[in-house]
């Protein structure tokens, strides 16, 4: 609900109403006495803005670029889950592009393709991220599409059952990758008894029921 309220408020307010604004990057680095490598000084500056709603916005401008990436980073990774719902964030991420109250799955796909854009998402232990890559002139439309997905996704029972099979196959593939298994066991050992010790995909029992 907090995310829904923040997004609703953010879409109705301009960035100009921000209460906090900070800058990181090449300009800030140049003001210090530390000798940074040239590639650091050439990097775009990152402006961070906090809207009245509390929503934080980070933006960078790459001179000459005709494309843009816009995304939403949500503190909803597996570290915040319990043993009973471990894997829920990853499951919801899979359901994100299955249609909303305004758009069917096909309409979502066609709309973003007609813009020459790309929608994607991923889940980590710390966050779930939803993002779109589009031409810079379409950033506003991309923000509206992401807002629709996050606020109005339809969790259709049939789609849930179909995606459950997809996730179980993904688990089987991950279990064949030794590097992934080692990292999962490392987290389980280093962070015993905490959310960080749990896997991102969760156990089969959670996703399979």
pLDDT digits (tens, 9 = 90+) for 35-94: 778 777 777 889 999 999 999 999 998 888 999 999 999 999 999 999 999 999 999 999
What is d(CA 91, CA 46) in angstroms, rounded to the nearest whole number? Answer: 31
Which residues have a catalytic role annotated? 93
Query: Which range (84-88, 191-195, 204-208) has the least confidence?
Result: 204-208
Q: From 209, 165, 202, 203, select the one nearest 90 (Cα to Cα).
A: 202
- Tens-digit pLDDT profile for residues 102-155: 999 999 999 999 999 999 999 999 999 999 999 999 999 999 999 999 999 998
DSSP-derived secondary structure letter, 193: T
Residue 25 pLDDT > 70? no
CATH 3.30.830.10 location in the chain: 66-207
Q: Hey, what are 120's tokens?
A: 């994607």
- Mean pLDDT, residues 14-34 taken together: 53
What are the residue ranges of helices labelled H in the chain? 2-12, 26-30, 38-41, 88-95, 105-114, 139-152, 157-174, 178-190, 204-207
Q: Looking at residue 165, what is its pLDDT?
A: 92
**How far apart are the C-alpha atoms of 7 and 74, rounded to whole Å?**
12
Please check the confidence at residue 4 and state whether its pLDDT lies above 70.
Answer: no
Q: What is the pLDDT of residue 139?
A: 96
Q: How many CA atoms lie within 13 A of 44 on its CB side?
A: 11
Of residues 44 and 28, the one with the higher pLDDT is 44
Which residues are registered as beta bridge partners of 151? none
Q: Does the global pTM surpass 0.75?
A: yes
Here the tokens at position 4 are 């829904």
pLDDT at residue 12 greater than cutoff 90: no
pLDDT digits (tens, 9 = 90+) for 154-175: 988 998 999 999 999 999 999 9
Residue 209 to residue 197: CA distance in whole angstroms: 22
Question: Looking at the domain 66-207, which fold is it?
Answer: Cytochrome Bc1 Complex; Chain A, domain 1 (3.30.830)
In contact, 85 and 93? CB cutoff 8 Å: no
């Amino acid at each position: 609900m907090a995310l829904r309220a923040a997004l609703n408020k953010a879409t109705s307010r301009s960035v100009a109403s921000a209460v906090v604004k900070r800058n990181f990057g090449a300009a800030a680095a140049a003001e210090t006495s530390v000798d940074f490598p040239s590639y650091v000084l050439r990097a775009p500056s990152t402006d961070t803005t906090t809207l009245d709603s509390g929503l934080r916005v980070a933006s960078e401008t790459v001179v000459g670029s005709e494309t843009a990436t816009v995304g939403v980073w949500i503190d909803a990774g597996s570290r915040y889950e319990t043993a009973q719902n471990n894997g829920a964030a990853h499951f919801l991420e899979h359901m994100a592009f299955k249609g909303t109250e305004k758009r069917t799955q096909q309409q979502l796909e066609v709309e973003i393709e007609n813009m020459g854009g790309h929608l994607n998402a991923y889940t980590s232990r710390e966050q779930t991220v939803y993002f779109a890559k589009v031409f810079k002139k379409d950033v506003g439309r991309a923000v509206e599409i992401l807002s629709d997905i996050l606020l109005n996704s339809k969790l259709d029972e049939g789609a849930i059952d179909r995606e459950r099979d997809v996730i179980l196959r993904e688990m089987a593939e991950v279990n064949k990758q030794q590097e992934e298994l080692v990292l999962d066991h490392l987290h389980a050992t280093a962070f015993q008894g905490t959310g960080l010790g749990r896997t991102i995909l969760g156990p089969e029992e959670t996703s399979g029921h």
